[in-house]
């Protein structure tokens, strides 16, 4: 790092001091249960029609440092005619599987997500095996992905 950047970093934290404090608190909280890391169950609901999207999500999750093999993937059984009913049933099965492992937290993923490269360290990076009482978090999209063009206008995502 050039000397002037080192000097600047010593005088100004880029307004991320609050983030460093929050991350330190998260790390302390992760050890809150009798010195044991909090336990996280990660589930992903998907269907055969979305094989490519699911594979991309799991690849991006692994690239973010999360061990993709620790994600429980629950596939749509096709028991219902309406897509919303099928998704609801698949989500219920995924969450039932996760809660059976008795984790502290459940992270429910859809099959078309991108991840922050610091995901694992933000989540404490610890053990994700079964544990105590559960809290649910959801990572999902509610419609087509969009991105902003130079004018600030929303552009449709070109990916399928």
Domains of the chain by start residue, with CATH: 33-142 (3.40.50)
Q: In 3-82, which ranges are continuous DSSP H helix?
A: 3-11, 17-30, 51-63
- 100: confidence class by pLDDT, cuts 50, 70, 90: very high
Mean pLDDT of 57-84: 88
Strands 146-148 and 154-156: antiparallel
Q: Determine how many CB atoms are found less than 10 A away from the CB of residue 145.
A: 13
pLDDT above 50 (res 149): no
Q: Give the C-alpha distances (Å, rounded to integers) separating 74 from 24, 90, 144.
A: 33, 7, 22
Mean pLDDT of 118-130: 52
Q: Are 75 and 44 in contact (CB under 8 A)?
A: no
pLDDT above 90 (res 37): no
């Amino acid at each position: 790092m050039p000397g002037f950047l080192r000097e600047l970093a010593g005088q100004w934290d880029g307004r991320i001091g609050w983030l460093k404090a929050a991350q330190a608190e998260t790390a302390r909280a992760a050890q809150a249960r009798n010195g044991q890391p909090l336990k996280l169950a990660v589930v992903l609901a998907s269907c055969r029609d979305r094989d490519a999207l699911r594979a991309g999500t799991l690849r991006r999750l692994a690239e973010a440092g999360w061990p993709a093999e620790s994600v429980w993937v629950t596939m749509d059984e096709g028991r219902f005619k309406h897509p919303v009913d099928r998704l609801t049933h698949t989500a219920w099965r995924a969450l039932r599987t996760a809660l059976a492992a008795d984790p502290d937290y459940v992270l429910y993923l859809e099959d078309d997500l991108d991840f922050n490269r610091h995901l694992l360290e933000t989540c404490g990076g610890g053990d994700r095996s079964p544990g105590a009482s559960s809290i649910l978090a959801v990572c999902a999209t509610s419609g087509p992905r969009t991105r902003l063009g130079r004018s600030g206008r929303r552009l449709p995502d070109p990916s399928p």
